[in-house]
Amino acid sequence: MSSSVSTAIKIAVETGTLTGELVSPDGQYLVLVFQNSQQFPNPCNCVVYNLEGEVHRIICAPYMVSEEVIRNHNNDRFIQGIIGGVSNYKVDNGEFYMVIGVRDPKQYDNTGVSYGEVRQFNPETGEISSLLKVSLPLR
């Protein structure tokens, strides 16, 4: 006979809007992304909590790495992005890993649109690594 364990995590958020929340594929972490937060302002607006509801890591947005973004900033390779969300991604072998959405702080041609990068993310170590996809989202 198997049993399941349910854990409730209570997190006090002072201000801001929650724009992303997700449990890690291994079930060990809760990842929250904030917008307009005094407690967790950009560029460090992503917080990884452990099962006890304690802050495990505060994640700051990485520098953008895609050629599209670099070109959009006159070849400047030191543009710090803005974390926009998190998701779990299923690999062909059936395993899951987390990805984090990082968007360009600059709008493209003053249209309200900015480039976005999808990057692999490890909530345990806080590492934001491989660029998986670049997009130019609609408004």
Per-residue pLDDT of the chain (139 residues; tens, 9 = 90+): 444 444 566 666 666 788 888 999 999 999 999 988 889 999 999 999 999 889 999 999 999 999 988 988 999 999 999 999 999 988 888 888 899 999 998 877 777 778 899 999 999 999 999 899 998 764 4
Q: Which amino acid is at 97?
A: Y
The Cα–Cα gap between 116 and 31 comes to: 19
Check if the beta carbon of residue 41 is closer than 8 Å to that of residue 32.
Answer: no
Check if the beta carbon of residue 124 is closer than 8 Å to that of residue 137.
Answer: no
The Cα–Cα gap between 116 and 105 comes to: 9
Residue ranges per structural domain of the chain? 17-135
Picking from 96, 88, 91, the residue whose alpha carbon sits closest to that of residue 118 is: 88
**Alpha helices (H) in 78-120, listed in sequence order:** none
User: Which pTM value belongs to this model?
Assistant: 0.83
How far, in Å, are 28, 61, 103, 119 from residue 53 at the CA level?
A: 11, 22, 27, 25
Q: Which amino acid is at 10?
A: K
> What H or E segment, with its residue span, contains residue 72?
helix 67-72
